[in-house]
């Protein structure tokens, strides 16, 4: 609505324009007609215009008030309508899956222990071998001669030891009888101790020579398969050179990472189903180890799954998937999947209570069919919205259209 002061200013401008026109037309304002215009016509015009402006202002105010009232009536009548479902108890079966590579429980790289020419290689890649089987032979002749020399030295050391021992015992007896001096006894004892040390040294040399002779052959430490061959017959082997890799494929194990939310739920000895991308039939496995420590970087813990492979059909390093069925969770709060809303990494539900909608953050668990277990945030018996949630405002009233019958039927199934 236009103010009165504004209207008076507008009328003064109009009056001045009329006055100027009269002057331009050489009309003398002192004439009776001019005085009449000034005294009656112009005030009347002013009043008329003021009345028009007041009427327009009143219409605008009435229109605004009417619109406000209409909007308020519209807001009250435009309450959101939702379908709801009750939080119900439900049993959930859980299956956890993870991947890994099957590797042999036992595998070793066999190396040469003594240098020499390789005179015989008895196995190749893929050969199955038994424990104690000779895989490689290094020329023995030099090591046999060294052993013979060590044995001869040992025989001499034994003879010197025996003589020194007899001399010491004889002089010791003479000393005790007063027929030998203390110096003679000490000399005999020293010779005996030296002979004893020399015998020990030569025996160690003989044992070392014997061991080196044995080390000219490499034998299988256990039953297995040759998975690497790194030597050639006729070649020369240095001490510590790799010769073979042997793998026991009868038992394979896979390390798998499990999310920390399952910590404490996967016991040692739990059965597992092992499947493969490659063309292999599924195998049965068992959890052999569970790491009690959780990796804070990945939020997982490691388990080992053991698979028997006595027929040697599964190769070492094979990629696999392990599936584990965990104990059933009974009577857990559950809601239809449609009740869950994801908002910036958080799971939200709308709880309907006393005709109003309330936003609540929850922690969801496993799902089964159309139902999702709620680990935290809801109680059995509460009611949640399953449709129409996109327009809800926390704490505002809502209308409900009964229960979510289709979801309830899904739960019964």
CB 104 within 8 A of CB 355: no
What is the C-alpha to C-alpha distance for residues 286 and 52, in angstroms, rounded to an integer?
Answer: 95
3-state secondary structure of 92: strand
Instruction: Give me the residue spans of the domains in the chain.
Output: 4-75, 80-91+330-412, 108-229, 247-328
**42 φ/ψ sector (left φ>0, alpha ψ -120 to 50, else beta):** alpha
Query: What homologous superfamily does CATH list for 247-328?
Result: Efflux pump adaptor protein, beta barrel domain (2.40.30.170)
Q: How many CB atoms lie within 10 A of CB 255?
A: 15
What's the topology of domain 80-91+330-412? Answer: 2.40.420
Q: What is the pLDDT along the chain (413 residues), one digit of tens a residue?
A: 444 444 455 445 545 554 454 444 444 444 444 444 445 554 555 545 545 545 544 444 444 444 444 443 343 445 789 999 999 999 988 889 999 999 998 999 999 999 999 999 999 999 999 999 999 999 999 999 999 999 999 999 999 999 999 999 999 999 999 999 999 999 999 999 999 999 999 999 999 999 999 999 999 999 999 999 999 999 999 999 999 999 999 999 999 999 998 888 899 999 999 999 988 999 999 999 999 999 999 999 999 999 999 989 999 999 999 999 988 889 999 999 999 999 888 999 999 999 999 999 999 988 888 999 999 999 999 999 999 888 899 999 999 875 554 444 444 44
What is the C-alpha to C-alpha distance for residues 408 and 338, in angstroms, rounded to an integer?
Answer: 12
Q: What is the pLDDT of residue 326?
A: 87
What is the C-alpha to C-alpha distance for residues 15 and 37, in angstroms, rounded to an integer?
Answer: 11
E strand or H helix at 54, and its extent? helix 42-77
What is the C-alpha to C-alpha distance for residues 273 and 259, in angstroms, rounded to an integer?
Answer: 18
What is the C-alpha to C-alpha distance for residues 347 and 334, in angstroms, rounded to an integer?
Answer: 14
Q: What is the pLDDT of residue 80?
A: 86
Its pTM stands at 0.57
């Amino acid at each position: 609505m236009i103010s009165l002061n504004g209207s008076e200013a507008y009328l003064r401008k109009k009056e001045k324009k009329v006055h100027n026109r009269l002057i331009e037309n050489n009309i003398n304002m002192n004439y009776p007609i001019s005085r009449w215009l000034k005294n009656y016509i112009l005030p009347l015009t002013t009043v008329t215009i003021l009345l028009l402006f007041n009427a327009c202002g009143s219409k605008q105010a009435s229109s605004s008030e009417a619109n406000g009232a209409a909007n308020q009536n519209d807001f009250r009548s435009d309450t959101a309508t939702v379908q709801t479902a009750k939080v119900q108890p439900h049993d959930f079966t859980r299956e956890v899956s993870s991947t890994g590579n099957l590797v042999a429980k036992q595998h070793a790289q066999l190396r040469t222990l003594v240098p020499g020419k390789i005179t015989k290689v008895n196995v190749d890649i893929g050969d199955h071998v038994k424990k104690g089987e000779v895989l490689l032979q290094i020329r023995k002749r030099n090591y046999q001669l060294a052993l013979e020399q060590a044995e001869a030295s040992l025989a001499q050391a034994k003879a010197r030891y025996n003589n020194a021992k007899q001399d010491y015992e004889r002089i010791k007896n003479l000393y005790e009888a007063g027929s030998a001096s203390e110096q003679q006894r000490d000399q005999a004892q020293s010779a005996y101790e030296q002979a004893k040390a020399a015998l020990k040294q030569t025996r160690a040399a003989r044992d070392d020579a014997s061991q080196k002779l044995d080390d000219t052959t490499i034998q299988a430490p256990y039953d297995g398969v040759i998975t690497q061959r790194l030597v050639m017959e006729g070649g020369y082997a240095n001490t510590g050179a790799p010769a073979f890799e042997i793998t026991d494929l009868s038992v394979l194990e896979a390390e798998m990472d499990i999310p920390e939310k399952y910590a404490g739920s996967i016991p040692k000895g739990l059965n597992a189903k092992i499947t493969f991308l490659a063309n292999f039939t599924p195998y049965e496995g068992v959890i052999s180890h569970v790491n009690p420590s959780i990796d804070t970087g990945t939020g997982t813990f490691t388990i080992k799954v053991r698979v028997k492979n006595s027929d040697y059909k599964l190769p070492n390093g094979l990629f696999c998937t392990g599936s584990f069925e965990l104990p059933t969770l009974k009577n857990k709060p559950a809601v239809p999947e449609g009740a869950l809303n994801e908002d910036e990494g958080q799971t939200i539900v709308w709880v309907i209570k006393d005709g109003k909608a309330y936003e609540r953050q929850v922690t969801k668990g496993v799902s089964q069919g159309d139902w999702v277990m709620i680990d935290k945030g809801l109680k059995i018996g509460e009611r949640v919205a399953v449709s129409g949630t996109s327009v809800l405002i926390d704490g505002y009233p809502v209308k409900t259209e009964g229960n979510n019958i289709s979801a309830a039927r899904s739960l019964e199934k």
